[in-house]
Chains A and B, each alone.
Chain A
């Protein structure tokens, strides 16, 4: 079985690119690179610069004074900061893993349903297409401790005797928020994985079944390896988004109870727009970028070795 692992024919790079062709290639790329530099690189570099300054608002604009790593010192010494790093990390990891597993199951189900495929994809898309602020408000009503729908259901079914304050304890608030997130963003994973599944040639499956492989073997040896591009794409998008989570906790709990659901993005917003500590806010933003990059790199290398380990 192992010897027959199919792989997509590699796209052959043209080896004989002439020097002039290469030059004109760069020439054609340069405008795009310029645009990216202006709209992406400059803000990032400027944030780093801001994070190294003490910034005061004055009537004639912003007054910056260089203070080195002092803003980062404030972060390192703050329990609130570490708490929100920790919350953001486990929130992102748990939601992304659950969304990937669930998304994979749903994608396989949709792929195997011949009828109603279009309809099920459209239905799946409804949560994803709702604006988060609105769906978060909706979940707020569902979880409400006095008149919430969820309490109505669980008390009517006699699962609990007293209404539960879902957003009332740190643990249940975090879980409730994760459920709302998973409900909303699993469809995104499904869509990417379904399109990935549709690109796998059918003959691979036919060949495998002729060779007597069972469904499980087919999944691990054909579907999963050939889907790894789609999986890592979905995972990367989700990791990036999950680390920037703002709207859901902002609407659902405002970071509470206590500060148990305060994400890094919320902390940054508070520093920048409520406390007017622009330097500290920038340093939170930069720390978040570093954290996201690190997690993405770890994920990519772990995922690659996992897939290669399976394929070998």
Chain B
């Protein structure tokens, strides 16, 4: 009986160390943003190589994205985005580190759609701010689709809009996150 207990304990501890099935990740997630003010000129960019890792056990969720990886329909817009607005040579990366605050409500073992409240710190242009969003986690066949929409203000991240383009660029940025997470290892 006692021996059985020890074996059980060892087995459990071993499994909890090597059992990494509770982490999910992607390196090809998508972030889309738009801050269009005038209908004449759409200002929007897409990045298709977003890294995201979700630890289903703790609810920890992290994103990383290379700012240079944002693509625009117009080359000049892309140049301005990198050179004048986010200054990607100085601040090459955008990052989010946070938690799914209602992680207990999500059953990662069972297929279904769950509402996920996410809260954490977003770093862009060298400035870190708290952000909060309510997204969706869809569990299907051991994979997770993570979607969220939220807004940030350019002024919060020290990104200023010159007066000449004030009527084209909105201070409010709509961000759409779309990641298909697969089990890590």
A joins B in a complex: no
Chain B interface residues toward A at CB < 8 A: none
Chain A interface residues toward B at CB < 8 A: none
